Structure 1
Amino acid sequence: MTSRRGFLAGLAAATLAPLPGWTAVGSPDFLSAALFDDGSYRLVGLTISGEVRFSIPLPGRGHAAAAHPHLARAVAFARRPGRFALVIDCATGDQLARLEAPNGRHFYGHGAFSPDGRRLFTTENDYEAGTGVIGVWDAAKGYARMGEFSSAGVGPHDVVLMPDGKSLAIANGGIETHPDTGRTKLNLPTMRPNLTYVSLDGSVLEQVELPAALHKNSIRHLAVRADGLLAFAMQWQGDLSHDPALLGLHRRGGRYHLLSAPEDIQATLAGYAGSVAFSAEGRQVAITCPRGNALHVFDAEAARFERAHSLSDVCGLGPGPSGFVFTTGHGDVGHLVGPNPAISPHPRVRWDNHLVPIRPAI
């Protein structure tokens, strides 16, 4: 009989293997936004070992991307509060479509495809109403907008497809912004972040809120394990004399668990987690903390801190064949297995916040 760990490892290995459509561009493992030394912002296809398979110019600074589940196509999103989202043929570099946020909306930098690749879901701000929206786009019809539904919160930053292929998880950060005031946070005293699960038609299935004392802990980024365990990374908007947990775990129908390092280590993180990922076999979960120049690894099964790594300006994070792959704002691509990272420098590149795995949606 296959063990649970073996089953998870098999699923993880399957999700790391690029689909045939991506072989046309050298089978990259991740997408990342980056700034090159010639001043150009680009979308990059990157392998686990740090090799660049392609780099495609963007009109401005990118944040994250969504990888099509079957074709070598990606949607590159502007950094909040940007308005561009470009559909790119990664084999040719051609722009296939440009998504325009409707009037009164802007993108938050993340999106996810449906399992069949026919629909794209984007996190958006309805900034006049001060509420979150998930935009729905028809990939089969040139990415025409099909509609939208409420994110059931404020400031939806990240969205991921759940392994059941029938639902989404949304990180409602709780922070209200308006493009007239740039990145200014308008509602910190009253913010209420939440984690919301919805069906693909927008029906709310479940919602999780943090306790009132943590209402300033903005839920920002998500990673999901093959068995449905969800990890969420947070960014504290309160007084930095308090050092709250920056990582949470949740499974639908159960209670959430907040994970922290020992107090003296947690205090060095400046209340900010940048990215979150599970290791390929699913036993570990990690967060990057660029303001604290740290990468923290936890035991996902025991919900327990394991170790910290000191890495300058580390932010991008993804699963490796064992352990984790990370990127830094200095151009490093690292592979973390055990106590010592193996680093491949890219001195001409400054990697942006995220590594987006190229993998099947389910």
Structure 2
Amino acid sequence: MRRRHFLLAATATLAAQTTPLWADIGDALFLTAGNTPDNATWLVGLTASGDIRFKLPLPGRGHAAAAHPHAAVAVAFARRPGTFAIVLNCATGDTVAKLTTPAGHHFYGHGAFTSDGRYLLTTENAYDIPDGRIGIWDTEQGYARVGDVPSGGIGPHEIIRLASGDFAVANGGIQTHPDFARSKLNLPTMRTNLARLSATGTILSKIELSGEMRQNSIRHIAAAADNTVVAALQWQGPPTKSAPLIAHFAPGREAALLDHPATARLNHYAGSVAINASGTQTAVTGPKGGHVLFLNASGAPSDSPLSSASGVARHKDGLLITCKGGLALYHDGALMRIAIPARGVGITISWP
């Protein structure tokens, strides 16, 4: 199972619902999507030990997933410019609902639930305007779409819920249109920002990358307990220039770009980002460079080669990263073990 992005790490939260809770399904569940050797696209649910919980065929390439805060439910999204999303019962792997964007919109591959689980918020491109939008879907009405609000910029990629209950949105700044496939249409004038939205969709603040760094597209983000956001960046400026690929966004402050000594190994492209459970380690992957960058709580850097290092998710023992052929577990920046799946649809994973 070859995968560009790791989709989800969902942990247990207690709530009284008829739908199974995360606690009811046992260990933390990880979702990943990819192509099998025959180019079929699948979504796979894995336990923390690497066992397969379920496999679900997808109508196209998947990208990421959003976990319900209480119920054992997740929503898997199409990769841009796809228009489908699938709501899953993660206890069984059954499809609960299927979502389709309204005409003139497509998904950017990410979403997040409000803290009470009532609404699902999705990042979307209203491509004929053009404008970044946040779609709003009501879970109590069978995931009916009830509206959308501005994202605060062009190209909203990832949206995450903060500890405060507000949301952070990575507006990558790149204008696209499905008539032009995945072409980037506005690189000379693009502007990237991190927006903070209330649970009702009001834009509370925006932090832009200024000057020439406005071409450093904010794509994937992760948040610490104090609502500080760390972002993985993708440089869209002159390829001859070296640019930082990690940024910190603290509430009420300007963005802080962090230059890691191994940044060049990522070839201008940071993939995913995650912070470990204790908040002491951040990992940023470089799928094009086959490398992972680490920063500890004091900002001390380290790095590790890892072929096709792509998605990263929090694991109880550190940080779990998808790589060529399997999953790699890191603790404090050190590689602990790798799980290698068997080839084909009958995928199995074992931990050494």
Q: TM-score, normalised by structure 1?
A: 0.87
Cα distance in 2 for partners of 1:206, 1:297 equals: 28
Partners of 2:328 and 2:335 within 8 A in 1: no
Paired residues, number: 330
Closer/same/farther in 2, CA of residues 313 and 349 from structure 1, 3 Å limit: farther
Cα distance in 1 for partners of 2:263, 2:113 equals: 35
Closer/same/farther in 2, CA of residues 90 and 16 from structure 1, 3 Å limit: closer
- The one-letter code of the counterpart of 1:284 is Q
- Equivalent position of 2:325 in the other structure: 331
Cα distance in 2 for partners of 1:258, 1:332 equals: 31
- The one-letter code of the counterpart of 1:321 is K
- The one-letter code of the counterpart of 2:225 is A
- Equivalent position of 2:273 in the other structure: 276
- Equivalent position of 2:86 in the other structure: 86
Cα distance in 2 for partners of 1:40, 1:74 equals: 21
- The one-letter code of the counterpart of 1:306 is P
- Equivalent position of 1:307 in the other structure: 302
What is the Cα-based RMSD across aligned positions, in Å? 1.8
Q: Deviations over 1:144-199 (max 9, x none)?
A: 1111100010000000011011x110000000000000100000000001000011
| 1:55 CA displacement | 1.8
Mean alpha-carbon deviation: is it higher for 197-206 or for 115-124?
A: 197-206
Q: Deviations over 1:52-72 (max 9, x none)?
A: 222222111100011112222
1:256 paired with 2:251, answer no
Q: TM-score, normalised by structure 2?
A: 0.89
Partners of 2:134 and 2:148 within 8 A in 1: yes
| 1:126 CA displacement | 0.6
Cα distance in 1 for partners of 2:109, 2:199 equals: 19
Task: Summarize the alignment of residues 191-206 of structure 1 with structure 2, pairs less than 5 Å apart.
Answer: 191-206=190-205
Cα distance in 2 for partners of 1:201, 1:297 equals: 35
SS at match of 1:186: coil
| Same amino acid, percent of matched pairs | 46
- Equivalent position of 1:297 in the other structure: 294
Q: Deviations over 1:264-302 (max 9, x none)?
A: x32221100000000110011110001110011002x33
- Equivalent position of 1:178 in the other structure: 177
| 1:39 CA displacement | 3.7
Q: Deviations over 1:209-253 (max 9, x none)?
A: 112111110000110112212111110112221121111111211
Partners of 1:25 and 1:54 within 8 A in 2: no
Unaligned runs of 5+ in 1: 1-14, 351-362
Cα distance in 1 for partners of 2:208, 2:23 equals: 41
| 1:90 CA displacement | 2.5
Cα distance in 2 for partners of 1:35, 1:23 equals: 30
| 1:24 CA displacement | 4.6
| 1:86 CA displacement | 1.1
- The one-letter code of the counterpart of 1:78 is A
- Equivalent position of 1:360 in the other structure: none
- Equivalent position of 2:32 in the other structure: 32
Cα distance in 1 for partners of 2:135, 2:10 equals: 27
